Amino acid sequence: MNRAALHEISYGLYIVTSGSDGKFNGQIANSLIQATSKPATLAVCINKENYTHELISKSRKFTVSVVSEAAPMTFIGLFGFKSGRTMDKLKEVKTRPGVTGVPIVLDYCLSFIEAELEGELDCGTHTLFLGKVVEADVLGEGTPMTYAYYRNVKGGKSPKTAPTFDADAAAAKPKPAQAARYVCSVCGYVYDPEKGDPDNGVAAGTRFEDVPDSWTCPICGADKSQFVVEK
Ligand code: FE
């Protein structure tokens, strides 16, 4: 089987929130589709290890916010690489409660869709949740971020808990680069000197050695000392 075939599938980038009784969390999901139009339903695949999975199972509702291309990596990192079991991610961003009571993430999002759980399918490591849409609205104008944009333009990676994470591909050796690329040992973000990190004041063409010591990983916030040369 050639797993490269799977890499040709397109995805968006979304924040899925859930919870009840004062316990809420949100996480990044890319495996989300509108399953049907009338009635409108959404299907989203969530890793069983994630706190959001537990909250969807208990509360039987979830809300999706569509992430804009304008979202910085720190925002994606907050929802994609940090666990809601150890911090309240939703305190770090602007939210408001929706009709289901689940917080809607408003920062860097173009629209939101609220759903009540209608069914679920056990997929081994993940559960596919099917939700009936009960409310939705547009929050602002912009271009929705696709997973390809996140990876190719923003330099983002999949966490190990993502359904699209490919351990074989992640372990594959990249081609040698001219100036060394550095990998965050916490989240796997790759600092590419050719691209720099313009979102955080590091111009394209800056060698890792010349990045200020105050700079931190744009995804997980790890400091520069936690980066290692890409092998
Ligand atoms: Fe990191």
Phi, psi of 7 (to 5 degrees): -75, -10
DSSP 130: E
pLDDT, position 47: 96
Dihedral, CA atoms, 97, 102, 108, 111, nearest 10 degrees?
-90
- Ligand 1 centre distance from Cα of residue 32 (Å): 24
Both tokens of residue 75?
Answer: 């925002």
The residue whose two tokens read 């910085």 is: 72
Distance from residue 194's CA to the centre of ligand 1 (Å): 18
The pLDDT value given to residue 193 = 94
pLDDT for the residue numbered 5: 94
* DSSP states along 78-124: HHHSS-TTTS-GGGGS-EEE-TTSPEEE-TTEEEEEEEEEEEEEEET
Nearest CA to 218 out of 207, 210, 227 is that of 227
Distances (CA, A) of 9 to 30, 57, 176, 202: 11, 27, 27, 32
Encode the chain (231 residues) as per-residue pLDDT tens digits: 999 999 899 999 999 999 999 999 999 999 999 999 999 999 999 999 999 999 999 999 999 999 999 998 889 989 988 889 999 999 999 999 999 999 999 999 999 999 999 999 999 999 999 999 999 999 999 999 999 888 887 777 788 888 888 876 777 655 444 789 999 998 889 999 999 998 889 999 999 999 999 999 988 889 999 999 998
d(CA 54, CA 103): 16
**How many other CB atoms sit within 10 Å of the CB of residue 171?**
7
Residue 104's CB is within 10 A of a number of other CB atoms, namely 25
Give the separation between CA 131 and CA 118, rounded to whole angstroms.
5
What pLDDT score was predicted for residue 174?
53
Distance from residue 133's CA to the centre of ligand 1 (Å)? 34
First and final C-alpha spacing in the chain: 26
- Measure the CA–CA gap between 41 and 113, rounded to whole angstroms: 10
- Cα(120) to ligand 1 centroid in Å equals 32
CA distance 178 to 172: 19
How far is ligand 1, taken at its centre, from the CA of residue 54, in Å? Answer: 25
How far, in Å, from the CA of 191 to the mean position of ligand 1?
A: 10
